[in-house]
């Protein structure tokens, strides 16, 4: 009979038990080690990765309480979280053995055991070891993915007083589990602030799930956020968890929350109140434990007055409120932001490191930046690609076509910000012959954001 490829360790202070167990088990498993002194467990685990550890509950120091067994169980699991530990105990200690399972043991065996029972128990628990190792591998991979994901969002550039207030508030709220509402125009870096809050929180080693509610249609809202059961609708070919389940123990970031219809707001409120989701096609409630961070560029308080946004939902999501300033209110940061993006795109496009002249900085500071930092980012990227010079001048940013200093219709004296934005959008759309995708890209906006502005300004 072929032996099972598995490493078994037996720890017991009874030499007869060790001998009997080894003689039997070595007929069935490739490696069987025995140890009389539990103090040697750390050294043994440092040399071998055992698939199953048989551990006596009571050693000579303390023959009845099981405290020694619990101590060495904790030592083993600390060294190897995926370890499978089977307690060896007498009939009178079954209650202690059950307590041991609650503390991390996988199973228990009663002395004296039948060899068939011993073999069956170990064989069954080898599968538990495989599952634990797979889970531990997934956790390690998840930590790597989380770290990689955060690396793209680690740097918040801001020394302006307005940004100091934002970062101070974010730091204070991060250590709590309070719901956060981040307000600000498009392109100001709301998701960056949300990720910073997550990274500084107690949930930092768990997932951060970002959901753009503006990109999810009403018909897909429940399936995307709450999940569905196979067969719940035509294309539901398998069970699938929703975004809330995926974010369990971590943070869920609901961007563009102001876009939700009243009906969807009601469904979201129910989940936030009950902390449970129900997948489409089932009646089963699934508990969720998530940190909630929301963001919008829409005037929620005004929308509440107009009965377009539920007041109870607003109260639920804004335990703490953070307002991210537009770029025009933090121009002190513009040189550093430009330098930051120059580093990124010079490296990305294998271009010689470029810099901007002082006159260019002054010119950039006069631009209204309706798309905020996202617009600036695209402008710098475009300049790095198109300019052949190592020193970028104002014309390399193509801003003169939009807000020429000599054009009276675009000066701050002649119109307010909304009128300026409206005029700018019209000019860019005309420039690209009505192509919304190209216009949105040049403005540093998403297509959805540009469409909302077109509707807002009736363009």
Strands 227-228 and 180-183: unpaired
Q: What is the CATH number of the domain that holds 283?
A: 3.40.50.300
Q: Which residue range(s) make up the domain with 404?
A: 327-456
Residue 275 in domain: yes
Nearest to 55 by CA among 105, 5, 124, 3: 105
Q: Listing from the earlier edge strand, what are the strands of the sheet with 85-89? A: 29-35, 4-11, 52-56, 85-89, 107-110
CATH assignment at residue 66: 3.40.50.2300
Note whether 119 and 158 are same-domain residues: no
Q: Is 282 exposed, middle or buried (0-12, 13-18, 19+ CB in 10 A)?
A: middle
On whether both 93 and 161 belong to a single domain, the answer is no
- The CATH code of the domain that includes 387 is 1.10.8.60
Q: Which of 50, 250, 48 is nearest to 142 (CA)?
A: 250
Q: Is residue 141 part of a domain?
A: no
Euclidean distance between CA atoms 231 and 241, whole angstroms: 14
User: Is residue 136 classed as helix, strand or coil in its secondary structure?
Assistant: helix
Task: Identify the domain boundary among 323, 352, 375.
Answer: 323
Burial of 124 (C-beta count, 10 Å sphere; 0-12/13-18/19+): exposed
Each residue's pLDDT tens digit in the chain (459 positions)? 678 999 999 999 889 989 999 999 999 999 999 999 999 999 999 888 899 999 988 775 544 456 788 889 999 989 988 889 999 887 666 777 788 788 888 888 888 888 999 999 999 888 888 777 776 666 665 655 555 555 544 568 988 999 999 999 999 999 999 999 999 999 999 999 999 999 999 999 899 999 999 889 898 999 999 999 888 787 878 888 899 999 999 999 999 999 999 999 999 999 999 999 999 998 889 999 999 999 999 999 999 999 999 999 999 999 999 999 999 999 999 999 999 999 999 988 888 888 999 999 999 999 999 999 999 999 999 899 888 888 998 888 877 555 544 344 444 444 455 666 777 788 788 778 788 888 888 887 888 888 888 888 778
143 in any annotated domain: no
Among 154, 168, 444, smallest CA distance to 324 is for: 168
- Which of 101, 133, 165 corresponds to the end of one domain? 133
| Domain count across the chain | 3
Co-location of 306 and 345 in the same domain = no
CA distance 188 to 101: 51
Could you tell me how far CA 190 lies from the centroid of its own chain? 15
Instruction: Confirm whether 140 is domain-assigned.
Output: no
Among 133, 162, 196, give the residue marking a domain's end: 133
Same domain, 167 and 296: yes
Beta bridge partners of 254: 211, 294
- Is residue 301 domain-shared with residue 160, that is, in the same domain? yes
Q: Give the integer Cα–Cα distance in Å for 65 and 58.
A: 7
Q: Give the pair of three-digit tokens for residue 5.
A: 């490829």
Maximum Cα–Cα distance for the chain, whole Å? Answer: 100
């Amino acid at each position: 009979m072929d032996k099972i490829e598995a490493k078994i360790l037996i720890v017991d202070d009874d030499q007869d038990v060790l001998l009997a167990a080894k003689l039997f088990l070595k007929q069935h498993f490739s490696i069987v080690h025995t140890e009389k002194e539990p103090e040697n467990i750390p050294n043994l685990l440092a040399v071998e990765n055992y698939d199953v550890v048989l551990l006596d509950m009571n050693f000579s120091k303390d023959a009845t309480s099981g405290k020694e067994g619990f101590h060495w169980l904790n030592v083993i699991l600390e060294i190897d979280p995926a370890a499978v530990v089977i307690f060896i105990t007498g009939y009178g200690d079954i209650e202690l053995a059950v307590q041991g399972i609650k503390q991390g043991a996988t199973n228990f065996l009663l002395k004296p055991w039948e060899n068939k029972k011993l073999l069956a128990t170990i064989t069954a628990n080898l599968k538990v070891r495989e599952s634990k190792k797979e889970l531990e591998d997934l956790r390690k991979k998840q930590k790597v993915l989380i770290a990689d994901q955060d690396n793209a969002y680690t740097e918040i550039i801001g020394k302006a007083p307005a940004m100091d207030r934002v970062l101070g508030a974010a730091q204070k709220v991060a250590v709590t589990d309070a719901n956060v509402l981040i307000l600000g125009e498009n392109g100001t870096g709301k998701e960056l602030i949300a990720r910073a809050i997550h990274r500084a929180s107690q949930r930092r080693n768990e997932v951060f799930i970002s959901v753009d509610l503006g990109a999810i249609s009403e018909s897909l809202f429940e399936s995307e956020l709450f999940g569905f059961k196979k067969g719940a609708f035509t294309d539901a070919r398998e069970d699938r968890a929703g975004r809330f389940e995926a974010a369990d123990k971590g943070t869920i970031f609901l961007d563009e929350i102001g876009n939700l219809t009243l009906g969807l707001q009601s469904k979201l409120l129910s989940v936030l109140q009950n902390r449970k989701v129900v997948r489409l096609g089932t009646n089963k409630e699934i508990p969720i434990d998530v940190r909630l961070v929301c963001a919008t560029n829409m005037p929620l308080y005004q929308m509440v007055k107009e009965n377009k946004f539920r007041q109870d939902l607003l109260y639920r999501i804004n335990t703490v409120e953070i307002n991210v300033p537009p770029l025009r209110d933090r121009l002190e940061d513009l040189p550093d932001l430009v330098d930051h993006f120059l580093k990124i795109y010079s490296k990305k496009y294998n271009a010689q490191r470029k810099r901007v002249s002082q006159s260019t900085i002054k010119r950039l500071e006069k631009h209204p930046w309706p798309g905020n930092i996202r617009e600036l980012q695209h402008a710098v990227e475009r300049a790095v690609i198109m300019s052949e010079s190592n020193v970028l001048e104002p014309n390399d940013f193509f801003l003169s076509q939009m807000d020429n200093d000599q054009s009276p219709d675009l000066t701050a004296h002649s119109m307010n910000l909304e009128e300026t934005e409206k005029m700018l959008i019209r000019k860019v759309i005309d420039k690209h012959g009505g192509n919304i995708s190209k216009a949105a890209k040049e403005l540093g906006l998403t297509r959805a954001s540009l469409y909302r502005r077109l509707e807002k300004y009736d363009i």
